[in-house]
Amino acid sequence: MILAVCLNPAVDVTYVVDAVRPGASHKVSTVHRRPGGKGVNVARVLAQLGEPVTLCGFAGGATGRWLRSALADSALADSALAGSALADSALAGSARAGSAPADSATVDSATAGSARAVSAPAGSGVIDRLTEVEADTRQTVTVVDDADASVFNEPGPTLTDRDWARFTETYDELLKDCEVAVMSGSVPPGAPADAYAFLVRRAQHHKIATVVDAADAQLQSAIDAGPTILAPNRAEIGLPGAGPAELLAAASRLSRRTGGTVVISAGSDGLVASDGLRSWTARPPRHVTGNPTGAGDALTAALARGLARHLPRPTALADALALAAAAVAAPVAGQIDEPLYRELTASSTVQEVAPCP
Ligand SMILES: Nc1ncnc2c1ncn2[C@@H]1O[C@H](COP(=O)(O)OP(=O)(O)OP(=O)(O)O)[C@@H](O)[C@H]1O
Ligand SMILES: [Mg+2]
């Protein structure tokens, strides 16, 4: 089993409008809601691949109940694949849009439903072991018009010390049964400043491999603890426009600090990776047009699956490239285009390059 950690899941709300005009009142033509947050996206991709996956983190309030019922409701999970033509085309035309649409009619019926019991096999295929908290799970709001998408991210529920203690008990228990722990995304207010270092060290204590996709202070915290694989994008390490040579040097420097493998993703330019001894570069097997939001989450999911299967690094990286490209072709984050994934795995390769001095 792969354990996906999402400390700050979200209900992703998308408003579709004709045109965004700052300061004006807008008529929203369509509202979409779907479970979101990077760790949720990772878990959903793994579930779509048929990989046993358990989700832990926090969920609270009405939004948390909705998130859990949506994860547990197959009808909603299936309808989310469809989206709406209007919103899909708007999202496809906008760079880096937030997570996109589910079918609104089905979403409404799921909103009315109550949360399923913890541990119930989920309709999405994700086993729910989220820790219930009093404060509301956050929403993200993406406002989409024909030209662009604007994303508003709430900070998330303020956790109490008791919330964190209850979560860590669950996390420790789940670590005993998993092969890999993969953790992604932001942390809610009230979580420890070194949350990711703590999570990595607990996993190390249980001899469980880890994959971390984090930013800012939590990225630094994870580096200190030394995850098996660290997978930031190039902007998250402060090199938004860097090319392969600069990124390779950064990956190799970082891997010396973590003692593990570092994979730096670079959008449609592909990725670089280093384990300190060997280094690789890779370009996507094909440039895919679509919604790139969540491509990094698919990449992270594939890296976790590669660890669970003990794949050699180059094999896992090639698989991750195909899966990430197939995520771009799917209209919403947390999903992949399966036929495209199967097609691209045949042509996905990585090149080993000389290590950086
Ligand atoms: N247009 C594309 N066509 C094919 N593959 C792509 C494309 N865009 C991204 N990818 C693949 O997806 C991987 C991850 O993309 P990116 O670097 O944008 O991740 P990210 O910024 O972490 O994304 P997110 O945080 O939204 O999940 C890249 O390394 C690349 O292999
Ligand atoms: Mg990312």
Give the Å distances, CA to CA, from 296 to 14, 186, 234, 258, 315: 20, 14, 11, 20, 18
What pLDDT is recorded for position 149? 87
> For residue 266, what is the domain's CATH number?
3.40.1190.20
Interval 232-270: pLDDT, tens: 999 999 999 999 999 999 999 999 999 999 999 999 999
- DSSP for 193-227? TTHHHHHHHHHHHTT-EEEEE--HHHHHHHHHH--
Ligand nearest to the CA of 264: 1
What pLDDT is recorded for position 76? 59
Q: Of all residues in the chain, what percent carry a pLDDT higher than 90?
A: 81
Atom of ligand 1 nearest to the CA of 266: 17
CA distance 200 to 300: 15
Domain that holds residue 34: 2-353
Identify the band that residue 322 occupies on the pLDDT scale cut at 50, 70 and 90: very high
Identify the band that residue 222 occupies on the pLDDT scale cut at 50, 70 and 90: very high
Mutate to test the pocket of ligand 1, among 268, 336, 348 (most ligand atoms within 8 A of CB): 268
DSSP code, position 121:
P
Interval 100-122: pLDDT, tens: 333 222 222 222 223 333 343 44
Atom of ligand 1 nearest to the CA of 213: 22
Identify the band that residue 331 occupies on the pLDDT scale cut at 50, 70 and 90: confident
Identify the band that residue 79 occupies on the pLDDT scale cut at 50, 70 and 90: very low
Ligand 1 first shell, C-beta below 6 A: 233, 265-268, 270-271, 284, 287-288, 292-297, 299, 321, 324-325, 328
Atom of ligand 1 nearest to the CA of 293: 26
Q: Find the 186 Cα to ligand 2 centroid distance in Å.
A: 11
Please state the separation of Cα 312 from the chain's center in Å: 23
Contact yes or no for 157/133 (Cβ under 8 A): yes
What pLDDT is recorded for position 274? 98
Contact yes or no for 21/142 (Cβ under 8 A): no
Say how many domains are in the chain: 1
**Protein residue with its CA nearest to atom 25 in ligand 1:** 296
Interval 53-74: pLDDT, tens: 999 999 999 999 999 999 998 5
What pLDDT is recorded for position 93? 33
CA distance 331 to 294: 10
Ligand nearest to the CA of 42: 1
Contact yes or no for 193/220 (Cβ under 8 A): no
Q: What are residue 138's DSSP bridge partners?
A: 10
Q: In terms of Cα–Cα distance, which of 151, 136, 156 is closest to 15? A: 151
Q: At a CB cut-off of 8 Å and minimum separation 6, what does 334 contact?
A: 34, 35, 36, 40, 41, 42, 44, 45, 99, 294, 297
Contact yes or no for 101/331 (Cβ under 8 A): yes
Interval 264-318: pLDDT, tens: 999 999 999 999 999 999 999 999 999 899 999 999 999 999 999 999 999 999 9
Interval 148-184: pLDDT, tens: 889 999 999 999 999 999 999 999 999 999 999 999 9
Q: Find the 112 Cα to ligand 2 centroid distance in Å.
A: 32
